[in-house]
Structure 1
């Protein structure tokens, strides 16, 4: 099969205040016609720089210092590296013959323009189509990528769409001109597992229909194992291994790729087995602290519900009620980890916000036991509320957005201690201890968040949460924004800190492999309700509810022996009215949680006779 794109000895350098930094060191690879090449590596390995060089979208501080980028699309051979980045020849290629899907669709789509305008713009620029033709072809493109109502989507703004639909809109925009090459830069990183599987199935189907080549940039080896034909592995700007997927994944020859594979959480890990990070962090874990045992759970959520009122789109329309959380109950034992899993929009984060008292529940109560007996969190005030704020801390999903860019790390760590009355002398010493505890050098205390990598910023977020010595950490997708090698470091660190400090964790995630590695008990949420809860081993040994089984089936496994069944990943898996009996729920039906074995409860619907059967 001939090469559609050939990169030969490509080098890219960035200007810095000191000496130039070379991000790519003589990269050479081929993207074959009609095939998918997966470009794999950690953050900073040069994957996105490669994509930017192909489309000539490099920042002004970057320069292609040598090499060729040869593109052969039927009109001859063009060396893209020699074209002016803003010239007419490059603009004719960019978008029309080579298209790109970006990692975060919300930041790449204009919030001021409708989806129809943004997708149709490329068509109007490159073909001169009028508005009527543009809208018709845009509607067809939206239908091809699976929009439920393509005609209505023409008038929809990005903020009105879910993450999965925004990514589908980006794919429609990229493919409306039928490019020969699609560059997909981490197209599923920000999506939950079922939406990710649907997007991967969509890209595979569209490739079969159009014959386009795909350059897939990713750090997720499960995605690589399921959609790639060929694999190229980058390490610090150098190609260290490449070849057909079967050869590379079954017998990885380079130590770096073998290390990446061992850093990924897997469902077949032995009891007590730890992830093996590529670069283990030298964290100074404190001596084990003993806490007074509690008579019951440290956290209990009892029958909590929350409803939001959405503003009507027109003045004559009635506001719409959304039942975000409906009668949810959870229990977390001291020193244990509870995993709360589900798709985006299932209500997980709303539950965590109610636990943190950022939202008030409409019904139910949340009890926390700090050693003096369980108390209702939402009735606390004064000193009792102040003590609760100290005992329960939050670790956010995006470490960069949750750290003030105008504060140094020292100020970030000292702020909660100052609020809670820790003396100044003690704060200084504790800052150094916290940095060592999360595997960072004390010399970084005077630096700002932008000077750290994503994994280091997440460590700073964990250190900030530990600054006031809490008993419970609520972790909202703590590793979803990190590449696999850094994920392994953070997950191992959290396990070590829990064992040493006696911490309790509530981990909110859509990644079941991460939950399998971290959690003792698991609760599965769908449409605001718990549909199944069980000890970790029981849930993964015998998932009962159809939604739980669908989530597990949608997790891409790095092993080639466990491929995703794309046909089984449907968009209606989270619709309770489509579940099989006896789990099916009619509209507005709550169903009943029933025990099927010790500690394992499942939500049933329908008649009592069906449940008994």
Structure 2
């Protein structure tokens, strides 16, 4: 006889009611979470994954109601088990005793989930003190022990820090510590690694697996990344429009997927073995942007050489060491970076969070000024240093170089309609009459696969993928030559990601655009880029054409980034032991000839045609 599962969800139905309209979010959802195993809940945004978790935790929004079904919790430590959580009052004593103690949740965005007004230690110990009735000094000792277990350096210092003082990976570890301090029976992880770079993501996934093995807890992993599922899940549940369309153990799901939706999800994800010219297959195609964009191709001069180049640009920031101490310290964000962007091509810029990618983009946009070096742009009349541009010349440059932001939620003004968002750049630059602006806004929407009726709507009424397409449409409003794409698909599920990536490639072909594509997802960069530059600690450590870099990476940091990408392939699992063994982002730990002494910059050396690698002093001397 099989062991009783920790959770048994049967025929669960949840409805949302708003403005007199009832929407079925969950329709007869049934699955089990066995003890000590990881169940992955997979599907697109809006498929019902998070609603399922919210129903289990009793934190559904006020507009939602559980209309049918049961959520049976077979807690081995409770005499009243099994307990139907669907019948409990979400604000009642029984549910509050379970939530945060026997069942906990890691939310998708740690910065918005942690209070900016309280220290990390206060937030982590709150639940422990509430459920265990212990004094603060005991809770602090327990919290510091958990901090150490989740890999946070200097637990005593971390206890007194605020969330904004920590990196994204450290904030996520703090969230895990908060979830685990009471040693729960179930950990719900809602997209715990979506916005993290690949090396930090691998560390977090290994941490959750290790803690699960140590404590025996069950894990419900909510994700749209099939690579993550292939590496950590035991069982897989696939959701589509509030229903479960396929479920089974990991081996069966990946080796023999049956449902067309699951197969479509697998085809929509970029992977390293794609053939030249092969396109991603999104679940739903948008309008053919190539045909629409060709009608709007602006008459511009094509530069004979690079459209944009940076030469030895550097940037140092001055940070305060304390609020009232008056002490400061220098942080070198970018060191002697050189990049070249050719017309109609895509330059990929990859690296971990904090390596300097966004700082380089902001210097190109002239949002910040480099301390040294030069950035030059060619509008067809020859390269000019952008630091010398003033007046009309500067306005022309700002029209020609546009930015697609990472966060489609924060980059669109919620008080402006789509029409206002798309025509604002035209009004600022005095482009066209009001009627011409309206017609161009309608064409821009068609170009990104949205209906012109969307012009009257506000950003909140669109999905994440639709908002990202609005951001692309706004960036194209002034017919730019260069687009800086800063993590434009990092927060999107694979099906919408495929739409956006195909759209960007189609627009590039139709409008002869040049892209600088900033990302930590190397599979995405492999699909988009012609040339790739790898950044670490403010330096370019390797640069080469896409096919050369991915087939023959030389620098140990590049090799580590590639090894940390979770592939949706059971035959190529992540090597957690290898990722754990080396300090790949520490230049003093790199092997020869790449090792850099403390404070040493090294220099780029061409090791093959168009293939450049940064070598240390000893390596250059040996060469």
State the TM bucket, normalised to the shorter chain.
Answer: over 0.9
Once the two structures are overlaid, the 10-residue window that deviates more, 12-21 or 248-257, is: 12-21
Tell me the secondary structure at the aligned position of residue 6 of structure 2.
strand
The one of 547, 572, 576 equivalent to 2:583 is 572
Measured at CA, do residues 470 and 314 of structure 1 come closer, stay the same or move farther in structure 2, by a change above 3 Å? closer
Give how far 1:295 is off. 2.2
Tell me the secondary structure at the aligned position of residue 351 of structure 1.
helix
Q: What is the distance in 2 between the residues matched to 1:405 and 1:132?
A: 44
Does the alignment pair 1:57 with 2:67? Answer: no
Give how far 1:2 is off. 3.1
The one of 85, 98, 101 equivalent to 1:96 is 101
Q: What is the distance in 1 between the residues matched to 2:492 and 2:455?
A: 22
Tell me the secondary structure at the aligned position of residue 461 of structure 1.
helix
Q: What is the distance in 1 between the residues matched to 2:550 and 2:301?
A: 32
Q: What is the distance in 1 between the residues matched to 2:380 and 2:323?
A: 52
The residue that corresponds to 1:582 in the other structure is 593
Measured at CA, do residues 284 and 328 of structure 1 come closer, stay the same or move farther in structure 2, by a change above 3 Å? closer
The residue that corresponds to 1:175 in the other structure is 180
The residue that corresponds to 2:419 in the other structure is 410
Give CA deviations for 1:353-391 in whole Å, capped at 9, x if unaligned: 000000000000000000010000111001110110110
Does the alignment pair 1:119 with 2:124? Answer: yes
The residue that corresponds to 2:74 in the other structure is 72
Tell me the secondary structure at the aligned position of residue 595 of structure 2.
coil
The one of 337, 341, 359 equivalent to 1:328 is 337
Measured at CA, do residues 610 and 569 of structure 1 come closer, stay the same or move farther in structure 2, by a change above 3 Å? farther
Does the alignment pair 1:433 with 2:443? Answer: yes
Structure 2: gaps (5+ residues)? none
Q: What is the distance in 2 between the residues matched to 1:206 and 1:70?
A: 24
CA contact (8 A) 1:291 1:502 kept: no
The one of 5, 14, 21 equivalent to 1:19 is 21
CA contact (8 A) 2:301 2:379 kept: no
Structure 1: gaps (5+ residues)? none
Measured at CA, do residues 365 and 241 of structure 1 come closer, stay the same or move farther in structure 2, by a change above 3 Å? same
The residue that corresponds to 2:395 in the other structure is 386
Aligned length: 612
User: What CA RMSD, in Å, does the superposition of the two structures yield over aligned residues?
Assistant: 1.2
The residue that corresponds to 1:395 in the other structure is 404
The one of 479, 482, 485 equivalent to 1:469 is 479
The residue that corresponds to 1:362 in the other structure is 371
Tell me the secondary structure at the aligned position of residue 36 of structure 2.
coil
1:277-288 correspondence to structure 2 within 5 Å: 277-285=282-290, 286-287=293-294
Give CA deviations for 1:74-99 in whole Å, capped at 9, x if unaligned: 12210001111011110111111001
Give how far 1:148 is off. 1.3
1:501-520 correspondence to structure 2 within 5 Å: 501-520=511-530
CA contact (8 A) 1:223 1:558 kept: yes
Measured at CA, do residues 398 and 609 of structure 1 come closer, stay the same or move farther in structure 2, by a change above 3 Å? closer
The residue that corresponds to 2:461 in the other structure is 451
The residue that corresponds to 1:161 in the other structure is 166
Q: What is the distance in 2 between the residues matched to 1:606 and 1:461?
A: 44
Tell me the secondary structure at the aligned position of residue 277 of structure 1.
coil
Give how far 1:28 is off. 0.2
Once the two structures are overlaid, the 10-residue window that deviates more, 498-507 or 313-322, is: 313-322
Tell me the secondary structure at the aligned position of residue 54 of structure 1.
helix
Q: TM-score, normalised by structure 2?
A: 0.97
Q: TM-score, normalised by structure 1?
A: 0.98
CA contact (8 A) 1:582 1:610 kept: no
Measured at CA, do residues 372 and 93 of structure 1 come closer, stay the same or move farther in structure 2, by a change above 3 Å? same
Give how far 1:132 is off. 1.2
